[in-house]
Structure 1
Amino acid sequence: MSAVSAPVVTRFAPSPTGYLHIGGARTALFNFLFARRHGGRFLIRVEDTDRERSTQAAVDAIFEGLDWLGLATDEPPVFQFARADRHREVVDDLLARGAAYRDYTSAEDTGRLRDEAKAQRRAFVSPWRDRDPAEGDPAQPHVVRFRRPAEGEVVVDDAVQGRVTWNVADLDDLVLLRTAKESEGGAPTYNLAVVADDHDMGVTHVIRGDDHLNNAARQSLIYDALDWPRPTFAHVPLIHGPDGAKLSKRHGAQAVHEYADLGYLPEAMRNYLARLGWSHGDAELFDDAQAIQWFDLEGLGKAASRLDFDKLAHVNAHWLRLADDGRLADLISDTPPTGSEREALMRVIGLIKDRAKTLVELKAQAAFALAPRPLTLDDKARAQITGEAGERIARLRDRLAAFETWTVEALEADLKAFAEAEGVGFGKIGPPVRAALTGGLPSPDIARILVSLGREQSLGRLDDALQHTK
């Protein structure tokens, strides 16, 4: 691993114009892991300068998603819009240095000149770039542009993409501030605000999606013009769908809360997302401590990663098996379970969680344990427990009433012995007994059903079912 100067500071900077999508969640996780790996700080900045599209509901959704994932900021979050005065100070500094200029070109003329430049395959250059600033009137509507160098290259040694070079002549003079009147101060733009915020927050490493790679060129020039040290950039390839196309609604869940609703555990999502675009040897299943110990920028790949729901289900099943049964009981309950409900769930979860891939599946498989007596039997279930099958259930009920060792292993052996005594295969016994005990709800094998329900509930349900045979 390459050396990293302390103290490390990373940030996750979501825009509150929508939910926290899965790509953003992975970006937050990478920043979190890198900061923890180096004993640094993980910060959150809400980039809410787009006032028309930013909403409080989106802000709430972002923090709910981060809370669910367990990615807590080390300091109170920063809201970018609240720092507009500081951003304007930085613009004034750039103007004073000659690294920025006021552009009074009308929007109509700017559009025309930009179209001409595009047709000539060159970067747009404002006619105010080299004019005397005294010719303009700051009280009139205008923008402030960054004066990029006239020639040369801007080079970014990206921790993921490697050395990336741009010819500065191919870059427009970026708008830093838009103002209608000097008295209004003006509205700072994204790239200027990002540089000022990252500098003031002490950010040392900017880990983000590679859709921001071109921004790194412009932001680097602003850093240089202000004589500020650049952070280390690490631009991570985006997540694609299973078909290799850009992730979209047609691929299924995108928002973090949707994965929670689908029954995935946060520790499983952290494990899966950490492995999505990063690797540590052949390790596939690892806990948070291992992820923090191992995570480095060298392990990030240059190719886009693909969302694999089968692999996510496999990872989630692993963490379900390791999860505390009491916690799972709470997670699969619509309301906090009562004493009797919790007791029933605690008996069943440990016996069935190794067969579930999600909390949704676990809830469905545990439902039989909470079904109230007498069970509702459909026509198929009723048909299964009549006649000879009903008589056999009655004999099994009496045998179970006298059975003492109420464990899965002991009951499996006794059920096998009962089938041999009856002179039939267990296929003749299992379906009617299952119908009597569960009413047709999804359930594990008979021995596990009996242990999950307990002696009293099991015998009671068999007695209820036998009433239908009379």
Structure 2
Amino acid sequence: MKEVITRFAPSPTGYLHIGGARTALFSWAYAKKYQGKFILRVEDTDLERSTPEAIEAIKDGMEWLELDYDGPIYFQTQRFERYTEVINQMLKDGLAYHCYSSKEELEKVREAQMSLGKKPKYDGKWRPETNKTLPSIPDHNKPVIRFKNPTDGAISWKDLVKGVISIQNQELDDFIIARSDGSPTYNFCVVVDDWDMNISHVIRGDDHINNTPRQINLLHALQAPVPEYAHLSMILGSDGQKLSKRHGAVSVTHYRDMGYVPEAVKNYLARLGWSHGDDEIFSMKEFCTLFDFDHVTSSAAQFNDEKLDWLNNHYIKAMAIDELTELLNPPNSYDNELYKSAVMLYRDRAKSLNEIAESIHYFFSAPVISQELLEKYINADVIRMVENFMQGLNEKVWNDESINQYLKDFVKEEGIKFPIIAMPLRTILAGTDHTPSVGSIIAIMGKNEVNQRWQDFKSNYDN
């Protein structure tokens, strides 16, 4: 088997979106599976839309996902000399030609073809084989350069995901390989890059299927090896429509900013269109070992935020507390051991890092209690009951087991249901009625802080 070399080739016109990240992941995993190479190539020939910020966003997303690539990042704008060399050789070998048709002429041809119910395409006016006597070259028009696409037969390939695909060459036209300003076009640059970089497998979205027959014909003309192709189906939102900004975060770094961990996002993307039985959870080492195209679906994959949340919770729960704390990056002013204890209390139920950080904030800053909670849980009788509870609490050993046992005993002695005391305590100490074990909160918060908050609450309530 020849060396496996894959590539991820985004255009730097925006952020690294989820679909692109999945393509990168599958390409990376396939190369890892066969101890091959994975190349990152930035296709930045669209000079008007490509931006340095987008390039940084791509690099940032790849780094966060830990998709390491081999060698430097390749930029198409740094390879123009090579493209010019190939184009000049193609002109010399009769594989390409200058076309002087103006935009207006081409539009008229297009309109005429469409009026006859034909598929619009270039009419071959400047192709030497089409016209034995070519029109005189206009002085006012800079030519483009077109590839001489075969005019008969068909181009076929066995797609690793879609199966055999065949396109009649008459459906294709002589596509432009260099614009009138001399800059090379996307379909041409991709072919030269894949050839020069010895790409063995091109893994990309199925929106590129229409480009593939053109690129294969060009590779044949250049007598270059043709890689294998795998076209991944698109990702749909939960509503069945193409994934877009209206579905929320579609950028990889947005998920990072929302508190997702890279392991969860990679695991989720791995299962988005690929399966291994009913298994849901994979380390990246396992995924690289198991990944193949036989189990990549040819139908569209549907994004499910609930499944991603479930995976994120799984990885957060499994993380060592020191690693998790480091990811949360608490302020230096926070007590580190208190912070870890608070994180441990919340991590099993949290869907994201942000949720943990927001949930434990009250441990480090006295909460602002809403009027709604005060009216719902606090009255004079409750104040007397909590005062009684606090007096007994301060006589107990201050640890989780002792405090939770005292809560049970207090409820039994008072003849009340647990929420009667728990909800006021949550309100006073945490400013919310949704928390984990109130006894654990008291134990973690510490005797001095709990007593201080109770005294401050009484003072404010009396006033």
TM-score clears 0.5: yes
2:60 corresponds to 1:67: no
2:134 corresponds to 1:142: no
Preserved CA contact (<8 Å) 2:398 2:447: no
* Separation of aligned partners in 1, 2:190 and 2:361: 50
* Separation of aligned partners in 2, 1:347 and 1:146: 67
2:157 corresponds to 1:167: no
2:384 corresponds to 1:391: yes
2:359 is paired with a residue whose SS is helix
2:145 is paired with a residue whose SS is strand
Letter in 1 for 2:172: L
CA positional deviation for 1:118: 3.9
Going from structure 1 to structure 2, the CA distance change for 1:439 and 1:11 (only over 3 Å counts) comes to same
Preserved CA contact (<8 Å) 1:385 1:393: no
Q: 1:301 aligns with which of 291, 297, 301?
A: 297
2:85 is paired with a residue whose SS is helix
* Separation of aligned partners in 2, 1:170 and 1:188: 23
Matched residue, 2:342: 348
2:42 corresponds to 1:46: yes
Q: 1:124 aligns with which of 122, 125, 138?
A: 122
Preserved CA contact (<8 Å) 1:6 1:40: no
Greater shift in the superposed pair: 247-256 or 281-290: 247-256
1:19-42 CA-to-partner distances (Å, cap 9, x unmatched) read 211111111111111111111111
2:409 corresponds to 1:417: yes
Matched residue, 1:437: 429
* Separation of aligned partners in 1, 2:33 and 2:138: 49
Going from structure 1 to structure 2, the CA distance change for 1:382 and 1:146 (only over 3 Å counts) comes to closer
Going from structure 1 to structure 2, the CA distance change for 1:355 and 1:133 (only over 3 Å counts) comes to farther
Letter in 2 for 1:363: A
1:129-158 CA-to-partner distances (Å, cap 9, x unmatched) read 125799877996212111112211101111
Identity %: 38
* Separation of aligned partners in 2, 1:56 and 1:423: 68
* Separation of aligned partners in 1, 2:378 and 2:103: 81
Aligned length: 456
CA positional deviation for 1:250: 2.2
Greater shift in the superposed pair: 44-53 or 429-438: 429-438
Preserved CA contact (<8 Å) 2:334 2:364: no
Matched residue, 1:403: 396
Preserved CA contact (<8 Å) 1:101 1:146: yes
CA positional deviation for 1:460: 3.4
CA positional deviation for 1:170: 1.1
Preserved CA contact (<8 Å) 1:20 1:256: yes
4+ long deviations beyond 6 Å: 132-140
Going from structure 1 to structure 2, the CA distance change for 1:106 and 1:340 (only over 3 Å counts) comes to closer
* Separation of aligned partners in 2, 1:469 and 1:134: 95
Greater shift in the superposed pair: 458-467 or 140-149: 458-467
Preserved CA contact (<8 Å) 2:155 2:213: yes
Greater shift in the superposed pair: 445-454 or 108-117: 108-117
CA positional deviation for 1:435: 2.0
2:348 is paired with a residue whose SS is helix
1:419 is paired with a residue whose SS is helix
2:340 is paired with a residue whose SS is helix
1:411 is paired with a residue whose SS is helix
Matched residue, 2:364: 370
CA positional deviation for 1:238: 0.5
Contiguous gaps of at least 5 residues in structure 1: 181-185
Q: 2:266 aligns with which of 270, 280, 288?
A: 270
Going from structure 1 to structure 2, the CA distance change for 1:133 and 1:6 (only over 3 Å counts) comes to farther
Preserved CA contact (<8 Å) 2:152 2:169: yes
Matched residue, 2:209: 213
* Separation of aligned partners in 2, 1:382 and 1:124: 75
Letter in 2 for 1:397: M
* Separation of aligned partners in 2, 1:138 and 1:178: 17
Letter in 2 for 1:159: L
CA positional deviation for 1:195: 0.5
2:4 corresponds to 1:8: yes
Query: RMSD across aligned C-alpha pairs, in angstroms?
Result: 2.4
Matched residue, 1:243: 239
* Residues 69-148 of structure 1 mapped to structure 2, 5 A cutoff: 69-120=65-116, 121=118, 123-129=121-127, 130=129, 131=131, 141-148=142-149
Preserved CA contact (<8 Å) 1:101 1:133: no
Matched residue, 1:451: 443
* Separation of aligned partners in 2, 1:193 and 1:79: 11
CA positional deviation for 1:161: 0.6
Preserved CA contact (<8 Å) 1:33 1:295: yes
Going from structure 1 to structure 2, the CA distance change for 1:189 and 1:199 (only over 3 Å counts) comes to same
Q: 1:229 aligns with which of 209, 212, 225?
A: 225
Going from structure 1 to structure 2, the CA distance change for 1:381 and 1:104 (only over 3 Å counts) comes to closer
Preserved CA contact (<8 Å) 1:8 1:204: yes
2:268 is paired with a residue whose SS is helix
1:29-69 CA-to-partner distances (Å, cap 9, x unmatched) read 11111111111111111111111111111111121122222
CA positional deviation for 1:465: 3.2
CA positional deviation for 1:98: 2.2
CA positional deviation for 1:406: 0.9
Preserved CA contact (<8 Å) 2:5 2:38: yes
Matched residue, 1:465: 457
CA positional deviation for 1:344: 2.4
